[in-house]
Amino acid sequence: MFAERYLNALSTSNLQDDDQHHQTEPLVAAALADLSGGSGELFGTMLLRAKIAGVPRQAIESNAHDLGVLLRIWTRDVAHKGFTRKWINIKHEWDIGAAYGIYKKIAVHSLAHWLGGECSACNCTKLIEGRACTHCAGTGREPIQGGTLEREHIADMVSELEGMYQAHSARAGAKMRRAA
């Protein structure tokens, strides 16, 4: 429900805030949810906008201008998680550059998969000609490409994105309920 109200607020031409008009409430709630989220940035709101706007997977993978900030922040977060969780054993100075390249690849693919990972064969219907889709194994999601470790890290980061999105939406929804 919050996402729908937020989308309506983004597309309205009337941002009055009085007894009859409440279009600014979702915008304020989203901003307050970011502030109370602890990150100090508008990352939750950026995720919300990208998710509800229906950004195609190709826009993320091609590093489209509108998503550049979101991708930059997410790449930084993934690199931090990768270094902290020791995804790559760094023995020499040149390993840092290689590790960052892998972390960037994981960030790009995880964000693209989270935003637009619908199965290309069944288009999320999970069925092809009355049978379960074999391409996605009936999940409706495109299988993650790459090596075993890479797929595992991408899936982990997709899960992190979904968690951040859900947490931000819950905080924003709570802020709206308190304001009402």
pLDDT tens digits along 24-42: 777 777 777 777 765 545 6
pLDDT at 137 over 80: yes
Q: Between the CA of residue 123 and those of 119, 128, 150, 159, what are the distances in Å?
A: 5, 10, 24, 21
Range of the domain at 166: 2-179
Q: Which residues of 64-103 are buried (b: 16+ CB within 10 A; e: fewer)?
A: eeebeebbebbbebbbebbeeeebbeeeeeeeeeebbebb
DSSP classification of residue 33: H
What's the pTM value of the predicted model, to 2 decimals? 0.76
Q: What is the pLDDT of residues 47-87, one digit of tens each?
A: 887 887 665 545 544 545 557 888 888 999 999 999 999 99
What mean pLDDT comes out for the span 130-149? Answer: 86
Q: Which of 4-18, 46-60, 84-98, 104-118 has the lowest mean pLDDT?
A: 46-60
- Give the model's confidence band at 107: pLDDT under 50 very low, under 70 low, under 90 confident, else very high: very high
pLDDT score of 54: 62
In percent, the amount of the chain with pLDDT more than 90 equals: 22
pLDDT score of 63: 47
- Please tell me the distance from the alpha carbon of residue 27 to that of residue 23, in angstroms, as a whole number: 8
Instruction: Report the mean per-residue pLDDT for the chain.
Output: 80
Structural domain count, the chain = 1
